[in-house]
């Protein structure tokens, strides 16, 4: 087990290293856009003579190998350098934006699971009924409907049109707080909650179906197993059969799915944050991309990758813990 863990961590570090290197190659070696040009272009007050100074400030005049080493060092030490746009350290902005993003997407993930899995269980236990049809339908819906369209519609109806129809917005147009934000702590929290509601609800509506369908299919599979027949034959109540026997056996794949969905807390936010102008990582990422702010872009992708890799390791380990049949590390 320990050996496996060490091997796994080493492989993960290798993956992170490979991806960081690929990023360096893409953004700083083969990129058709020169960041210095981009920077000089961003402000008309920069004169051509100042090019050297800019190159020197950002270290673009150093050799590629030095830059590569410095890049690796800064990536792995959570330093990330300075943003071209704001001239502030990327790591500082990263930390507060990360909080905002996790607040939105984390609560959305929890809510989606809390809604999706019970519906899936209900659908499996009442197979062929309306609940089942609803679960299948919501699964298809989650597959096929663009989330951002649901969000745009919700924004249009519940925020903009509600103002026209009722004279007030049921939900705000976007952003995380009102302008100016309420001064007292309680008011501030309520305000953030009010701004959080619509993105949260739309994410749940768009996403719970896939969880419901997944749970339903797993559970139906489990319900056809022989040990369920045994349990029923023993005279156990249907409830015990469903939760203690069937659902228990579907936990490992569900937990795996949940762990693998965790990095989505950060990566899945781009479009939602764009729609609701939520000041998180995703919105930052898009602005950085449109402005050629490579330090930010690199940092965000790096953080994304680290999270994905971490989640993969955790998922593997949890699977082993939950399902003793999988003896991780003994034989792959």
Q: Which of 263, 279, 280, 295 binds another protein (CB under 8 A)?
A: 263
Beta carbons of 330 and 7 less than 8 angstroms apart: no
**Total residues belonging to the chain:** 332
83 binds another protein (CB under 8 A): no
Q: For another protein, give the closer residue by CB, 58 or 285.
A: 285
SS3 content of the chain, % helix, strand, coil (to 5): 75, 0, 25
What is the spatial distance between Cα 159 and Cα 251, in angstroms, rounded to a whole number?
A: 39
Q: Is 146 in the site for another protein (CB under 8 A)?
A: yes
Whether the Cβ atoms of residue 201 and residue 154 lie closer than 8 Å to each other: yes
Nearer to another protein, 40 or 310 (CB): 310
Distance CA(58)–CA(61), nearest Å, equals 8
Closest approach, Cβ 20 to another protein, in A, equals: 12
Give me the least distance between CB of 37 and another protein, in Å please. 13
Longest dimension (CA), the chain: 87
Binding flags for another protein, 302-331, as an x/- string (CB under 8 A)? --xx--xx--x-------------------
Nearest approach, Cβ of residue 23 and another protein (Å): 9
Cβ proximity to another protein: between 163 and 237 the closer is: 163
Provide the sign of the torsion angle of the four alpha carbons 206, 305, 262, 275, taken in this order: negative
HSE on the CB side for 237, CA within 13 Å? 3
Q: Which of 10, 152, 190, 229 binds another protein (CB under 8 A)?
A: 152
Please tell me whether residue 89 adopts helix, strand or coil conformation. Answer: strand
Asked if residue 80 binds another protein (CB under 8 A), the reply is: no
**Residue 78 touches another protein, criterion: CB under 8 A:** no
Please name which of 4, 86, 89 lies closest in space to residue 316, comparing C-alpha atoms.
4
CB 175 within 8 Å of CB 195 = yes
DSSP code at position 82: B
Between 204 and 219, name the residue whose CB sits nearer to another protein.
Answer: 219
Q: How many residues bind to another protein according to rule CB under 8 A?
A: 44
Which one of residues 7, 126, 127, 244 is an interface residue with another protein (CB under 8 A)? Answer: 127
Q: Is 156 in the site for another protein (CB under 8 A)?
A: yes
Residue in 187, 197, 248 with CA at minimum distance from that of residue 222: 248
Helix or strand holding residue 77 (H, E): none
When asked if residue 81 is in the footprint of another protein (CB under 8 A), the reply is no
Least distance to another protein, CB of residue 128, Å: 8
Stretch that binds another protein, among 81-89, 182-190, 285-293, 316-324 (CB under 8 A): 285-293
Omega before residue 180 within 30° of 0, cis: yes
Binding site for another protein (CB under 8 A): 15, 18-19, 26-27, 31-33, 127, 140-141, 143-146, 148-149, 152-153, 155-156, 160-161, 164, 173, 220, 263, 267, 270-271, 274-275, 285-286, 289-290, 297, 300-301, 304-305, 308-309, 312
């Amino acid at each position: 087990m320990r050996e496996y863990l060490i091997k796994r961590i080493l492989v993960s570090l290798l993956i992170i290293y490979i991806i960081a290197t690929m990023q360096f190659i893409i953004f700083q070696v083969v990129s058709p856009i020169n960041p210095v040009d981009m920077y000089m272009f961003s402000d008309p007050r920069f004169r051509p003579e100042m090019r050297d100074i800019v190159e020197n400030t950002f270290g673009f005049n150093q050799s590629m190998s030095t830059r590569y080493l410095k890049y690796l060092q800064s990536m792995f030490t959570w330093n990330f350098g300075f943003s071209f746009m704001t001239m502030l350290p990327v790591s500082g902005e990263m930390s507060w934006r990360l909080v905002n993003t996790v607040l939105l997407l984390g609560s959305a993930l929890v809510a989606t699971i809390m809604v999706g899995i019970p519906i899936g269980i209900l659908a499996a236990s009442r197979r062929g009924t309306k609940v089942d049809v609803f679960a299948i339908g919501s699964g298809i819906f989650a597959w096929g409907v663009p989330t951002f369209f649901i969000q745009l519609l919700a924004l249009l109806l519940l925020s903009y049109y509600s103002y026209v129809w009722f004279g007030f917005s049921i939900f705000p147009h976007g952003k995380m707080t009102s302008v100016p934000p309420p001064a007292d702590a309680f008011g501030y929290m309520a305000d953030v909650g009010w701004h959080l509601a619509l993105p949260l609800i739309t994410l749940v509506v768009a996403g719970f179906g896939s969880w419901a369908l997944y749970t339903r299919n797993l559970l139906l599979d489990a319900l056809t197993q022989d040990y369920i027949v045994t349990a029923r034959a023993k005279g156990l109540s249907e409830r015990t059969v469903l939760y203690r026997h069937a659902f228990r056996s579907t936990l490992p794949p569900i937990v795996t799915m949940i762990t693998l969905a965790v990095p989505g807390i950060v990566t899945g936010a781009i479009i939602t944050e764009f729609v609701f102008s939520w000041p998180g990582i995703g919105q930052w990422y898009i602005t950085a991309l449109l402005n050629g702010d490579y330090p930010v872009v690199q940092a965000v992708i790096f953080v994304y990758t680290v999270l994905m890799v971490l989640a993969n390791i955790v998922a593997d380990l949890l699977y082993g813990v939950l399902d003793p049949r999988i003896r991780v590390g003994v034989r792959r």
